[in-house]
């Protein structure tokens, strides 16, 4: 067998140690921090009784049905709404392009409570159920589609040629643009589908007893009702369903189309209108946020802002909440989490470049943390890392590590996508001409993945900054992250706490935009 | 034979020394819910007094909201994340005791507390604080609309108050569950038909407290002047409001709707510092610590300590019906909530 492989790849295969060095660490992390803890919890808690009662309970299937329905509709809506603005941004040069792109990312990290309030403002009279859920998911995830398409290079020459030959715009879109875009779109929509399928925060606010997801049911059974055994059965059902959906999806995706770089042109008036419209849509919740930060007890007031960083109400009356420290904690956490995620991504990219078969398996397993319920993983970590020398239950690195696991797919997937554009003949030629296989690989891979890696790092930082669910499941001592502090402020009576929470949300959104803009700009400079 | 005996006695000797070692514990971990302040409040300063007295530092471990904290403690029963737990309440207690989460210990001082509260702890944990969940009303809305606010649970079904009340879902919200329990404790089997009348009177159900208090409540710009919240909400509206010396709070409490929630502290089974953990529980119910509870945790102390003037002026500690026991709640809850969902559908 080894010989057959050798014949295929000839002399240019990178050495075995390189493949091991890049494959083993991500595998160990995926196994140790995701699979083993989840398996431990399942083994610990599962019972025949729970399997029987969960599978025969008609509610399980109703919830699974609704979960799938809302995730499918949300994905369709997100792709439909995101594709045109994404394409326009991809191929137009206009002032504020970076700002528009980063604005989408800022919406992505908005606290769910605030997004829900924004959606309610847009849909008065119908506060709960399918429509508001789909709308909220669409607004949240538009960033993934728009930024993903904007980052994917499209060969504009083909379209130009077709236009010269007299193709109408709709025809052009259907016969040329869409087929070229298909692999990118399928990859991005898989991520959106996964996020909507496992949605938690939005469903807890905008859902109801019947309009709910498996992820929320897992939480309800485990935390509220205290039936951990039923919780793990539901977690298994969620994981298996999602894995099946993703395998189908990614198989469609494998038929990749070749990519080449295109170039940007000035924006047309029609395109400018589309961009303005989609910006208005995503900024609606942001505007609701700003308005809320200036409203105290139904009246306009700036006290939320003037008291924003206060740790006490007045001398002698302390709050026990320190927003300034939370900003520092959030930034530190995001820095460590992004570092973790990028290191993981670099290893995965290196092993994918060296051995495409191996890479595909890792690429799939990197999606895993997104499909696993935060409740299940959090409790799994609790019972796995509970004996010395690995009693890490309250380690301050647990939170950034959790964030990194959640963010890693967002760094890995676009980079892997870019890798498919890698010209393998060039790599082979370089090593035939005497370059060390690892060197040859590095020389050809780095320029291709640097841009998606940098923009992925920005997204990872954004995800860490906005993360709430997993953080709230992990035990922690010391500093709280900003989303947790926002939640704590929102759960207090009296005063201007809500305005302060909204003000802090704006700070969170601005910091996120800043980081994303900075990384996007530096990756743009590299592109030129 | 001889060797085995030697090994055995050596083993006993070693076991003896290790237990002996735990006498100089210099750190304890207090497992708490997420709203317990981690630093910089009078509660934390009080814990520093404990450290000064005993030489033992208290680390605060935030384990998530109360439900998450208890679920984790059940999973980690016997190998706990800390030594003492603060804040498990009477709706969740039986889940923890069924899993032997606690090493039974009740502080001596408990003999001076309200016997009903102590009894709920069942000799396993010590009550540390209590608070009420009550329907709150917006005083200025009722004044502006020339309507007297309701004074009893029954009156909430009066058509005069149609479309005015917001409650939370008992399946997902802790005050929502408390209000459902309030109707069950007061009305017995009649609770189901009472809720039907509330539905007919256009009660609004929200998923959580924030959505009701900061969304639907008229004070937040919503259209519901009656909302399920806490008995301590009015004093905090004053305390955190523009005028801390206001003579009347902007919101009021309908005493007849209140339901008492009790929180407990207990020694976690499996701690290596059982004696010190007990010392800490004693301290948590002592007046040094208890006097700072209202201002920092928004609930009332179990110990007889002087209350801040704002609570004397604006808080009510109503006569509530005997709380349902933790066991009654744990066995009945799932079915009650399901029935409730059917009614409010």
Q: How many CB pairs under 8 A join A and B?
A: 144
Confidence of residue A415 (pLDDT cuts 50, 70, 90): confident
Q: CATH class for domain A47-293?
A: mainly alpha
For chain B positions 66-105, those within 8 Å of chain A (CB to CB) are 67-68, 70-72, 74-76, 79, 81, 92, 95
Asked whether the beta carbons of residue A222 and residue B215 sit closer than 8 angstroms, the reply is no
Find the mean pLDDT for residues B18-31: 71
A326-356, pLDDT tens digit by residue?
999 999 999 999 999 999 888 888 888 777 7
- The pLDDT value given to residue B13: 43
- The pLDDT value given to residue A393: 82
- The pLDDT value given to residue A253: 56
A317 contacts on B by Cβ (under 8 Å): 239, 295
Confidence of residue A10 (pLDDT cuts 50, 70, 90): very low
Whether B322 has a pLDDT exceeding 80, the answer reads: no
Strands (E), B217-319: 226-230, 251-268, 300-301
Length of chain A: 528
Mean pLDDT of chain A: 82
Whether A419 has a pLDDT exceeding 70, the answer reads: yes
Q: In terms of C-beta distances under 8 Å and separation of at least 24 residues, what long-range contacts does A312-321 make, across chains too?
A: A313/A495, A313/B239, A313/B240, A314/B244, A317/B239, A317/B295, A318/B40, A318/B41, A318/B42, A318/B296, A319/B41, A320/B37, A320/B38, A320/B39, A320/B40, A320/B41, A320/B43, A320/B44, A320/B296, A321/A485, A321/A488, A321/A489, A321/B37
Mean pLDDT of chain B: 90
Half-sphere exposure of A229 (CA within 13 A, CB side): 11
Q: What fold, for B25-130+262-309? A: D-Maltodextrin-Binding Protein; domain 2 (3.40.190)
- Measured between alpha carbons, how far is B31 from B83 in angstroms, rounded to an integer? 7
Asked whether the beta carbons of residue A220 and residue B172 sit closer than 8 angstroms, the reply is yes
Give span(s): CATH 3.40.190.10, chain B.
25-130+262-309, 132-260+319-344
Q: Which of B221, B230, B334 sits opposite A298 (nearest CB)?
A: B221
- Measured between alpha carbons, how far is B94 from B330 in angstroms, rounded to an integer? 7
- Contact present, A482 and A465 (Cβ < 8 Å): yes
Whether A8 has a pLDDT exceeding 60, the answer reads: no
B161-191, pLDDT tens digit by residue?
999 999 999 988 889 999 999 999 999 999 9
Q: Which of B64, B75, B237 sits opposite A228 (nearest CB)?
A: B75
Provide the percentage of residues in chain A whose pLDDT is more than 90: 24
ipTM > 0.90, yes or no: no
Confidence of residue B301 (pLDDT cuts 50, 70, 90): very high
Higher pLDDT, B266 or A453: B266
| Structural domain spans, chain A | 1-45+299-528, 47-293
Asked whether the beta carbons of residue B296 and residue A207 sit closer than 8 angstroms, the reply is no
φ/ψ (deg, to 5) at A318 = -90, 155
Whether A162 has a pLDDT exceeding 70, the answer reads: yes
Length of chain B: 345
How many Cβ atoms from other residues are within 10 Å of residue A92's Cβ?
17
For chain B positions 109-168, those within 8 Å of chain A (CB to CB) are none
Confidence of residue A263 (pLDDT cuts 50, 70, 90): low
- The pLDDT value given to residue B293: 94
A24-72, pLDDT tens digit by residue?
888 888 788 888 999 999 999 999 999 999 999 999 999 999 999 999 9
For chain B positions 183-222, those within 8 Å of chain A (CB to CB) are 207-211, 213-215, 218-221
- The pLDDT value given to residue A212: 93
Whether B132 has a pLDDT exceeding 80, the answer reads: yes
By DSSP bridging, strand B251-268 and strand B84-89 are: antiparallel
B333 contacts on A by Cβ (under 8 Å): 225
B296 contacts on A by Cβ (under 8 Å): 318, 320
Cα B78 to chain centroid distance, Å, stands at 24
Contacts of A404 (CB under 8 A, 6+ apart): A336, A337, A338, A339, A340, A341, A344, A460, A464
- Measured between alpha carbons, how far is B169 from B115 in angstroms, rounded to an integer? 31
- The pLDDT value given to residue A493: 75
Which residue's entry shows tokens 């904690």?
A329
Whether A428 has a pLDDT exceeding 80, the answer reads: no
Tell whether B270 lies on the interface with A, counting CB pairs under 8 A. Answer: no
Whether B109 has a pLDDT exceeding 90, the answer reads: yes
Alpha helices in B104-242 (DSSP H): 115-120, 139-144, 174-187, 191-200, 209-211, 233-239
Q: CA of A203: which chain B residue's CA is closest?
A: B207
Whether B198 has a pLDDT exceeding 70, the answer reads: yes
* Opening angle at CA B47, ends B44 and B52, nearest 5: 130
* Distance (Å) of CA A496 to CA A35, A116, A489, B150, B216: 44, 20, 9, 28, 17
Whether A7 has a pLDDT exceeding 60, the answer reads: no
A190-241, pLDDT tens digit by residue?
889 999 999 998 998 888 888 999 999 999 999 988 899 999 999 999 999 9
Select the highest-mean-pLDDT range: A30-39, A130-139, A397-406: A130-139
Whether B73 has a pLDDT exceeding 90, the answer reads: yes
Q: What fold, for A1-45+299-528? A: MetI-like fold (1.10.3720)
Asked whether the beta carbons of residue B64 and residue A472 sit closer than 8 angstroms, the reply is yes
Select the highest-mean-pLDDT range: A295-304, A396-405, B92-101: B92-101
Q: Does domain B132-260+319-344 have CATH number 3.40.50.300?
A: no
Find the mean pLDDT for residues A84-104: 85
The least confident of B139-153, B192-206, B234-248 is B234-248
Higher pLDDT, B296 or A297: B296
Provide the percentage of residues in chain B whose pLDDT is more than 90: 70
Would the CATH topology of A1-45+299-528 be identical to that of A47-293? yes
Which run of H or of E encompasses B29? Answer: strand B27-32
Whether A3 has a pLDDT exceeding 70, the answer reads: no
């Amino acid at each position: 067998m080894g010989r057959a492989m050798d014949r295929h790849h000839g002399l240019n295969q990178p050495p075995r140690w390189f493949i091991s060095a890049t494959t083993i660490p991500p595998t160990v992390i995926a196994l140790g921090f995701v699979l083993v803890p989840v398996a431990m919890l399942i083994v610990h808690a599962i019972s025949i009784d729970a399997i029987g009662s969960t599978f025969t309970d008609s509610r399980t299937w109703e919830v699974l049905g609704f979960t799938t329905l809302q995730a499918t509709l949300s994905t369709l809506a997100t792709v439909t709404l995101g594709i045109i603005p994404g394409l326009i941004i991809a191929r137009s040069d206009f002032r504020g392009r970076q700002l528009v792109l980063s604005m989408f990312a800022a919406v992505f990290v908005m606290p769910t409570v605030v997004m829900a309030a924004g959606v309610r403002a847009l849909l008065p009279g119908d506060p709960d159920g399918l429509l508001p859920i789909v709308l909220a998911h669409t607004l949240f995830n538009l960033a993934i589609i728009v930024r993903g398409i904007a980052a994917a290079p499209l060969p504009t020459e083909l379209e130009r040629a077709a236009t010269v030959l007299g193709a109408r715009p709709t025809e052009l879109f259907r016969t040329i643009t869409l087929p070229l875009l298909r692999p990118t779109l399928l990859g991005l929509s898989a991520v959106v589908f996964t996020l909507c399928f496992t949605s938690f925060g939005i469903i807890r606010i905008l859902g109801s007893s019947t309009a709910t997801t498996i992820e929320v049911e897992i939480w309800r059974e485990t935390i509220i009702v205290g039936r951990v055994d039923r919780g793990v059965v539901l977690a298994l059902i969620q994981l298996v369903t999602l894995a099946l959906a993703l395998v189908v999806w990614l198989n469609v995706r494998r038929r990749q189309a070749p990519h080449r770089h295109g170039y940007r042109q000035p924006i047309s008036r029609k395109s400018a209108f589309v961009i303005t419209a989609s910006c208005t849509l995503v900024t609606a919740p942001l505007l609701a946020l700003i308005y809320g930060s200036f409203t105290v007890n139904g009246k306009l007031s700036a006290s939320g802002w003037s008291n924003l960083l206060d740790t006490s109400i007045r001398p002698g009356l302390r709050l026990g909440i320190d927003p300034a420290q939370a900003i520092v904690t959030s930034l530190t956490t995001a820095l460590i989490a992004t570092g973790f995620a990028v290191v993981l991504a670099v290893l995965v990219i290196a092993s994918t470049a060296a051995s495409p078969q191996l890479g595909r398996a890792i690429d799939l397993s990197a999606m895993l943390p997104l499909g696993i319920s935060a409740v299940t993983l959090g409790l799994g970590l609790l019972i796995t890392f509970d004996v010395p020398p690995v009693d890490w239950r309250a380690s301050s690195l647990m939170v950034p590590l959790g964030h990194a696991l959640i963010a890693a797919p967002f760094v890995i997937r676009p980079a892997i996508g870019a890798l498919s554009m890698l010209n393998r003949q060039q790599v082979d030629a370089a090593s035939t001409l005497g370059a060390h296989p690892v060197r040859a690989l590095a020389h050809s891979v780095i320029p291709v993945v640097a841009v998606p890696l940098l923009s992925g790092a920005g997204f990872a930082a954004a995800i860490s900054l906005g993360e709430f669910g997993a953080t709230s499941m992990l035990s922690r001592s010391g500093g709280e992250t900003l989303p947790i502090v926002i939640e704590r402020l929102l759960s207090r009576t009296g005063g201007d706490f809500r305005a302060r929470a909204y003000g802090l949300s704006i700070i969170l959104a601005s910091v996120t935009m800043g980081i994303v803009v900075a990384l996007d700009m530096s990756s743009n400079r590299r592109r030129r | 034979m001889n060797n085995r005996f030697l090994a055995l006695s050596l083993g006993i000797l070693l076991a003896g020394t290790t237990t002996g070692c735990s006498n100089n514990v210099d750190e304890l971990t207090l497992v708490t819910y997420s709203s317990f302040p981690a630093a910089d409040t009078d509660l934390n300063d009080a814990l520093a007094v404990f450290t000064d007295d005993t030489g033992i530092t208290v680390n605060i471990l935030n384990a998530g909201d109360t439900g998450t904290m208890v679920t984790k403690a059940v999973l980690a029963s016997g190998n706990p994340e800390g030594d003492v737990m603060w804040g498990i309440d009477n709706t969740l207690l039986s889940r923890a005791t069924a899993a032997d989460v606690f090493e039974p210990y009740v502080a001596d001082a408990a003999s001076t507390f309200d016997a009903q509260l102590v009894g709920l702890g069942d000799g396993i944990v010590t009550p540390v604080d209590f608070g009420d969940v009550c329907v709150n009303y917006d005083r200025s809305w009722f004044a502006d609309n020339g309507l007297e606010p309701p004074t009893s649970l029954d009156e909430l079904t009066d058509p005069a108050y149609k479309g005015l009340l917001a409650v939370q879902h008992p399946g997902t919200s802790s005050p929502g569950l408390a209000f459902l329990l309030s109707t069950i404790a007061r009305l017995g089997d009649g609770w189901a038909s009472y809720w039907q009348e509330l539905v007919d009177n256009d009660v609004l159900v929200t998923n959580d407290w924030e959505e009701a208090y900061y969304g639907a409540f008229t004070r937040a710009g919503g259209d519901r002047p009656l909302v399920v919240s806490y008995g301590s909400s009015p004093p905090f509206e004053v305390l955190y409001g523009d005028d801390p010396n206001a003579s009347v709070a902007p919101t009021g409490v309908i005493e007849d709707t209140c339901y008492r929630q009790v929180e407990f502290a207990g020694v976690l089974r499996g701690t290596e510092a059982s004696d010190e953990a007990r010392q800490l529980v004693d301290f948590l119910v002592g007046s040094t610590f208890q006097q700072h509870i209202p201002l920092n945790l928004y609930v009332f102390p179990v110990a007889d300590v002087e209350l801040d003037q704002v609570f004397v002026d604006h808080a009510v500690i109503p006569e509530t019906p005997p709380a349902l026991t933790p066991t009654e709640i744990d066995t009945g809850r799932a079915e009650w909530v399901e029935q409730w969902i059917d009614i409010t559908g």
